[in-house]
Amino acid sequence: MTLAEAVVAGAGPAELASLEVPTRYRAVHLRKDEVGMFNGQTKDGQDKDVRRSLHVGEVPMPELAPDEVLVAVMASAINFNTVWSAMFEPIPTFAFLERFGRTDPRHDLPTHVLGSDAAGVVVRAGQAVRHWRPGDRVVTSPAYLDSQDPIVQHDGMLAADLRAWGFETNFGGLAEFAVVKATQLLPKPRHLSWEEAACNMLCASTAYRMLVGERGARMKQGDVVLLWGATGGLGAYGVQLVRNGGGIPVGVVSSPEKAALLRAMGCEHVVDRSRFDDLTEEKGWRGLGAEVRRLVGEDPAIVFEHTGKDTFGASVYVAKKGGKVVTCGSSSGYDHAYDNRHLWMRLKQIIGSHGANYQECHEINRLISLGMVHPTLSRVYPLAEAADAARAVQLNQHVGKVGVLALAPKEDLGIEDGRLRERIGEERLRLFRG
């Protein structure tokens, strides 16, 4: 029996420890020799189709460092960083690997294994790992950092060498095996299947830090929160956190189907952005502001931003006097423009946010494990079709999260707590499945 087969069969710690780690494993990866493949291709109408750059095939198994763990990945998920990597934008991720390779040569390879989310089983733990052992069922946080850096005691996201795992490091989660630091591991929520457990951590923890965490917007009860992409990867967790915390979500989406899903999530106030001509112009900002006031009678205390260039001017404009725009990304472009008079004259703040520290990951994982925040998994692909999964996200054809099965032979495996599942209800847990 191979190690992968033993994991799938539910083998115990002793058996897992006795089986050999394979020398190669199947993984979704980019190839360094293809970095220039899209050069000059956007001018003639062709887009940077990620199905061309993403490959599924065997890669070499790395050595494990003393503070690392080898996880047999049952399921993973697509994040927008997978799309950025596969378009080689804003820079090819091999540049990150080369830089990292100066301190840890294992990562600087001709292949880059992607993926920043995973759920699976620990199969090996390095000598310095204290809290995890083979057989543990885990989910992963994406923050890869040096836990001996003093600033980490204050906030892990300020670590000098902070890297997004599976984006700025090699050996990510879209694979049969993944290498993570022990400080990335969290217990898998017992009521979720492998694919439901795998889809949450990156987006849910980022949304948690942005809205709830000490360094984010610190939402209060009754705060009106405008969320862009409210049925997307980040937004759908944002909406849940706003509702849980007693805020009033106003969700922005781009279609009637997404509007209906948002309402089914309990978000009463919905804005369809396709009704506004141009949100990069003041006329569009005013229209959006008027629509929010019409819906809730006041301006947002917080704007949840990740959409970037196309929306940022509007976000700064519509935030209320003294309000906050909290941003963690720039899907439509990072060279934002906004009218600074609206910021300073009305005493607003822009807060930059990135990922989440280990404690924040524990907080959101606890909420998920208690059944207070739910997965937003909409569709699941086999590993062999991970490029199609990433393509759906690239084209904004998805809602919530898109999952990928790795070693799990089918969906709906890995559920240990059926009673909690029953209490929450399948309808709620599968809301995004359509």
Binding site for ligand NAP (CB under 6 A): 79-81, 202-203, 206, 228-229, 231-235, 252-254, 258, 273, 306-307, 310-311, 328-329, 331-332, 354-355, 393, 396
Q: Which residues contact 118 (CB under 8 A, 6 or more apart)?
A: 71, 73, 75, 76, 139, 140, 172, 173, 178, 180, 198, 406
Q: Which residues contact 325 (CB under 8 A, 6 or more apart)?
A: 302, 303, 305, 312, 315, 316, 319, 348, 349, 350, 351
CB 232 within 8 A of CB 399: yes
Please, which residue, 88 or 228, has the CB nearer to ligand NAP?
A: 228
Please, which residue, 123 or 315, has the CB nearer to ligand NAP?
A: 315
Q: How far is the CB of 358 from ligand NAP (least distance, A)?
A: 14
Please, which residue, 233 or 414, has the CB nearer to ligand NAP?
A: 233
CB 367 within 8 A of CB 373: yes
Please, which residue, 147 or 254, has the CB nearer to ligand NAP?
A: 254
DSSP state of 63: P
CA distance 218 to 209: 9
State CA 274 to chain mean position distance: 25
Q: How far is the CB of 261 from ligand NAP (least distance, A)?
A: 10
Joined tokens for residue 178 = 């993944």
Please, which residue, 257 or 422, has the CB nearer to ligand NAP?
A: 257
Please, which residue, 11 or 292, has the CB nearer to ligand NAP?
A: 292
Q: How far is the CB of 373 from ligand NAP (least distance, A)?
A: 15
C-alpha pair distances (Å), 204 with each of 208, 345, 363, 375: 6, 33, 10, 9
Q: How far is the CB of 198 from ligand NAP (least distance, A)?
A: 14
Amino acid at 281: E
CB 355 within 8 A of CB 306: no
Q: How far is the CB of 133 from ligand NAP (least distance, A)?
A: 29
Q: How far is the CB of 279 from ligand NAP (least distance, A)?
A: 7
